[in-house]
């Protein structure tokens, strides 16, 4: 929450229209809203964003909607009608950024595609997030993050060697795409406002941003003709690196990605002599003994309690961490000290714990002013402040089903 002493948001004065649904595209607007942008959330009058009804619910309230809808002003517009389309164009005339995830063919039919809007809104930064991106044969196909997680190569390299390709249990592709889009918006605004340029289109899909993080697989195939295969929680380019179970049935993760860290592991597990043996110390030779080294570490850990393992690894400056569930994450003293999670008052739920804005800016920090509000809650306010409409004009829009 905020108070009078809270610094102004860095993006205060920036006007954003979130005309998208579900995860990736609306998350872009969420990030901007956390840092002060005036974000208007445009939804269909009946039902609104599908995220409102998606996932876990309490008292008929979607919990993900409450978080993704933070700091936004919900308004309604029936974009399936000419009047609704015109209404959105009028709002866009007062915006800096507009965000869509509707299929390209549908936006073109509605006259809301980039080529149409830029004729009358040349300064507008137009963000379009789709499953596959524009310009290829799959441009107009529907899709969700699950498809991006498969086509990016993520699922192929995730899971046990003898098991099936494994998908994440959260919206990974959507999240990575949203982060790419958010910094792309900043680039486009810098070009416009600092460089004196025009608005432009930001084309993001659900495959390419995640594929960029998996580029090691592409580089390996291109240069060595070898496909990366599943290897459980181990990683073919470093050892030791895995999840390990302690004597008291707790799980930890440990990574020896840096050579200096890997050598410290030997001392931690009472095998200091291995750090001087080239067969175990040299990074490439160590990979040839990956099975032996991993089992050596796992065997030492499984004979000791969680506290003993953590204490020993911490003392030897090994990169180690517990595997947390949500309850353990929320009770972690480090996260508590950093206020990683904040409790926000809410009219529907009483209060709710959500993650605070992630980037920590010292002069203009992000903030959570409120959680997702009811459908159309800010219709009157936005129409008065953005379009200067009076009660009669707003009433007419309601009467003809435009909002």
Do 216 and 159 form a contact (C-beta atoms < 8 A)?
no
**How far is it, in rounded angstroms, from Cα 177 to Cα 117?**
23
Closest CA to 36 of 369, 376, 379, 384: 369
Determine which one of 174, 282, 381, 391 is catalytic: 174
Residues 6+ apart with CB under 8 A from 336: none
58 CA to centre of own chain: 23
Q: Is 174 a catalytic residue?
A: yes
User: What is the distance of C-alpha 119 from the center of its chain?
Assistant: 32
Tokens of 264: 């410290």
Which class for 196: exposed (0-12), middle (13-18), buried (19 or more C-beta within 10 A)?
Answer: exposed
Burial class (CB in 10 A: 0-12, 13-18, 19+), 14: buried
Report the alpha-carbon distance of residue 342 to residue 366 in Å, rounded: 12
Positions marked active-site = 174
């Amino acid at each position: 929450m905020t108070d009078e002493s809270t610094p102004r948001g860095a993006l205060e004065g920036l006007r954003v229209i979130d005309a998208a649904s579900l995860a990736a595209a609306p998350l872009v607007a969420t990030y901007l809203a956390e840092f002060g942008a005036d974000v208007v959330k445009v939804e269909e009058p009946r039902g609104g964003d599908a995220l409102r009804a998606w996932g876990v619910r309490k008292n008929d309230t979607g919990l993900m909607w409450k978080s993704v809808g933070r700091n936004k002003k919900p308004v309604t517009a029936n974009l399936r009608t000419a009047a609704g389309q015109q209404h959105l164009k009028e709002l866009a005339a007062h915006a800096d950024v507009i965000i869509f995830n509707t299929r390209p063919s549908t936006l073109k039919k509605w006259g809301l595609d980039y080529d149409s809007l830029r004729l009358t809104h040349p300064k507008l930064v137009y963000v379009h997030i789709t499953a596959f991106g524009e310009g290829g044969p799959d441009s107009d196909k529907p899709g969700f993050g699950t498809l991006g997680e498969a086509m990016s190569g993520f699922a192929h390299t995730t899971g046990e060697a003898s098991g099936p390709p494994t998908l994440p249990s959260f919206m990974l592709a959507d999240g990575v795409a949203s982060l790419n889009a958010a910094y792309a918006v900043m680039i486009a605004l810098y070009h416009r406002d600092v460089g004196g340029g025009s608005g432009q289109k930001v084309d993001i899909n659900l495959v390419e941003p995640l594929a960029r993080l998996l580029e090691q697989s592409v580089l390996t195939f291109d240069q060595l003709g070898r496909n990366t295969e599943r290897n459980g929680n181990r990683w073919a380019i470093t050892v030791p690196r895995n999840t390990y179970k302690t004597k008291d049935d707790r799980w930890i993760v440990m990574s020896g990605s840096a050579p200096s860290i890997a050598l410290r592991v030997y001392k931690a597990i009472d095998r200091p002599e291995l750090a001087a043996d080239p067969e175990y110390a040299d990074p490439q030779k160590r990979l040839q003994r990956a099975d032996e080294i991993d089992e050596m570490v796992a065997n030492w850990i499984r004979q000791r309690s969680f506290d003993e393992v953590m204490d020993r690894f911490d003392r030897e400056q090994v990169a180690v961490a517990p595997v947390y569930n949500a309850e353990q994450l929320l009770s972690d003293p480090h996260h508590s000290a950093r206020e990683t999670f904040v409790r926000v008052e809410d009219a529907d739920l009483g209060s709710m714990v959500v993650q605070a804005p992630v980037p920590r800016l010292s002069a203009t920090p992000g903030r959570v002013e409120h959680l997702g509000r009811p459908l159309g809650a800010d219709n009157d306010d936005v129409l008065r402040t953005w379009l200067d409409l009076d009660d009669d004009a707003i009433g007419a829009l309601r009467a003809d089903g435009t909002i």
